[in-house]
Every structure is written in structure tokens, then in C-alpha cells.
Structure 1
Amino acid sequence: RAMELSPEHFPAARAAAVAVGYLRYLRGGPGRRLELRQLRRAQRQDIDDVGHKYCLELELEDVLDKGRTVGCSAEVLYHLGSTTSAPDVQVTVQGELRSTEEADKEFYNWIRSLEKELVAENIPDSHGNIPPELEPIHLLAWVASGYMIWQNSTENTMFHLAQVKHVKQVKRTDEDLQFDYVLLLHEMVSQEVLPWQVTVLWHPQHGVRVSQ
């Protein structure tokens, strides 16, 4: 039996953060930034011997598309007693996200044209500023952090990307772009800030692949 939860309910908000992280990983890229605008509805089901399932109705904002919003339904299943397996997440976006083909191509060609591999740190800086040319690098970090949030969340955690501490482009012999990141993730419940090392491969045709 499903129990209605207030959208302000902390466990509902934590499940929503996992769903949005997963969606960022699936659909994000250097030209798209998806943010949670509103958690509209939340239910929780306790499934015997399996775990807790949250059913969510979300409103997402595509920040770079003049703040256009899309609806999204999501299910997040946390496995009982497990601190090692990622929650099972299913998401359905209602409506179309705008194409990022042009922005993707522009970013890809710019990185390929650099004479030296790109290296940067502290994005954003201590004043919250991001140089425009590094915005796509920051957006790829959002995608990577989405993957990390999905993989490492439990019912009692809530992660948020605080900063790209360091990023270094790695030369490859194939067509992919590779970036090695050190990301700082803020865990809101314990208030810890944790560094994570993560490798991102990206190509306009193949999307993002993340590995730890």
C-alpha cells in the first residue's frame, strides 16, 4: 500500500535528488543543465523483504533553454539493509528536451582544436563565478555527479555537487574526449564534503560514460 508523503518530507526530497541525479546522467551533457524546479507529489511503498519504493512526480527545469520546464515521473527503490548497491531508478520525461546538437558540436570542436590539453581547477571559484568557456566542463561534471549520486545514495543521504576541484583533459587515440575530475560532493545530512575521483568520456554521438 502506498503512503502519501508531503513533498517537503526529507526522505521524499532525498529520493527526488537521486532521481534527478540519475536523469542528469542519462540525459545531461555539456549543453544541458537539468534542475529540480519542484517535487509535486511523493508516495512511499514498503515492499516486504525488498525495500522502500518512492513514487515521485517532478517538475524539471532545463536551465539553458530559457528555464523551460518538463514534467517527470520517477520511481526510486532502496534495497533493504544495503549500503553497497545503488537504488533502482526509473524515470519518464513527459515532453521533449530541446536539442543540444549545435552546442555539443561547438564544444567538441573547440576541445579538439586546443594545442594543449585543458586543465582547470576550482569551478566555480570562491565567488561562485564560472568562466563562460568552462561552463560545458562544469555541465559535464553535473552529469558525472549525477552518476555518483545515483550510485552512492542511500535513504539517509543527500548529495549535491559543490565544486569541481580539478579537471584534466587526457589525450586519446580514438574520437572520445576524456576528462579526469576531482569533484567535491556535499552530503547534506552529515554536512561532510567528500572528494571523488571520476573519469568522464564524452562524444556528441555517444553521450557520456562515467567510471570511478
Structure 2
Amino acid sequence: MRRLAREFPPGARPPASEGGAGQRPPSFLLLAMEELNPSHYPATRAARVVENYVNYREGSPHRFFLKEKVTQASKEKSIVNCTAEVLYHLQDPSLAPEVNVTLDRDLEKHTEDADNKFYNKMKNLEIPIEAHTIPDNFGNVQPEMEPIRILAFVACGYVIWQNSTEDTLYSMARIETVKQVKREDEFIEFNYTVLLHDFVSQEMIPWQLQVLWHPQHGTEVKQNKRLPKRCACQKTCE
């Protein structure tokens, strides 16, 4: 795996801030590439970015991709070889990493029927779903809530991709709250508050997401916001 990092010489500014729009002095741009050991932390963190990027673009309430090896992604029992480049913006870590993914074959779709059934069920509910603490304190998830949980993983793929740096390793720990919002258009909507776990700092970070989904149009995170961290005593008192 290769790590790419966009850097500029000391005292130089990035091309975007030089002159007018579209001007990009090539002498100011260096693209550094470094071969990484797949078992080392930098490769693991870059692979997590790729995993979440793919999930946001390709996932659904019944379709979620897991990294089997640093150079592979798996879906159900089917393994797809994945080659990816991750470009971190070292001068501005607030910018999302650029991810370029190449798969050795098209991703198979075995979940269309299940996704359509879930969509129709959610659209026709008289009382919108509202729940909290998924999984519960014993690790249990009610079967009817599993698609909603997987959709949260897919939506968190966007948040993790957009907020990752070389020094982070995020994963969704659980759903704190979820509330379905009735809509007049074709999408279904869920408002989530989730906990993201950063394995590097060991922080548990509350994050709020407004998520739209449609079986033909995929997932869209309309809004997301990092929330203030709560101490354990504050959570106990609620």
C-alpha cells in the first residue's frame, strides 16, 4: 500500500491560494509517496478510510463491507480485491482525504429484495420509529433494528471519511438515539446521534447525522455535527 501526502516547501502556499482561480504553479506542488508495511498503523488507518469511503458509496441497510486484509474488502462471503490510494492534505487536515479506489470486479448485489422490503415498510409505518442505545449494554440488537443499525454504519462512513487524518482511527461504537422523520418525497429519513470511537485517542465522540436513503439513489448525509463530549457522571444522571 502507498500513502500519498500533498506537501509544500517551507514558506510556500498551496496552489489554491496563489493568484486567481485555476492557477496552479507546478513548482510549488510536491507529491510524496511512501511504501507502507500493511501490518503497520499508517496502512491500517488509511485502509479504514477506504473501507468507510466504499461503505458510504455502496452500502445499504442490508449491505455492509468489511476489510479482510489491508489490500482487500469483503462483502458477505464474496471477496473483492481492492487497490486504493489515500491522499491526505497535510497543510490543511480539515480537508477530507482524497480516495481513489479500483476493484478487480463489480460489486455483486444480493440485497435488493431485502432493501426494497425495508424501504416499503418504513414508508408505510403509521408511527415513525424511535429508539435508543443500539446495541444495548449487553451487546444485543433487536432483529428489526439491524437494518437501521447497518444504515448508521453506512452513513458514518461519510463522517469518518470526511474527518479522518493520519492520526485517527474511527469506528462507530453504537447508536445513542435514532428517530425516523416522515417525508413527502421518495426518501426515508433518520436522525441519528451516534458514538464514534477513536482508537488512537480512545475518545468516544457524540455525532449527530441527518440521513436520507432510497434503494435506487443510495445514502446521503444531509447534515452532520460533532457534539460536545459528555462525562460519564453526566450520562449516569440522565
For 1:138, what is the secondary structure of its paired residue?
Answer: helix
1:68 aligns with 2:99: no
Q: Number of aligned pairs?
A: 191
Alignment of 1:125-204 (within 5 A): 125-204=136-215
Report what 1:45 is aligned to: none
Please give the TM-score of this superposition, normalised by the length of structure 2. Answer: 0.77
Structure 1 runs not aligned, ≥5 long = 40-57
Report what 1:14 is aligned to: 45
Report what 2:88 is aligned to: 78
Report what 1:88 is aligned to: 98
In 1, distance between residues paired with 2:139 and 2:107?
27
- For 1:187, the aligned partner's letter is D
Identity of aligned residues (%): 49
For 1:150, what is the secondary structure of its paired residue?
Answer: helix
For 1:111, what is the secondary structure of its paired residue?
Answer: helix
Report what 2:122 is aligned to: 111
Report what 2:6 is aligned to: none
In 2, distance between residues paired with 1:124 and 1:86?
29
Find the structure with the greater CA-based Rg.
2
Q: Deviations over 1:90-131 (max 9, x none)?
A: 112222323221111010011122110001111111222211
The structure with more strand, counted as a fraction of residues: 1
Report what 1:50 is aligned to: none
Change (3 A) 1:198 1:171: same
Aligned residues: CA RMSD: 1.2
Moved more, 89-98 or 159-168: 89-98
Which of these residues, 87, 98, 122, is aligned with residue 108 of structure 2? 98
Greater RCO (CA < 8 Å, at least 6 residues apart): 1
In 2, distance between residues paired with 1:158 and 1:131?
28
Please give the TM-score of this superposition, normalised by the length of structure 1. Answer: 0.86
User: How much does 1:2 deviate?
Assistant: 4.4
Which of these residues, 36, 49, 73, is aligned with residue 5 of structure 1? 36
Structure 2 runs not aligned, ≥5 long = 1-31, 225-238
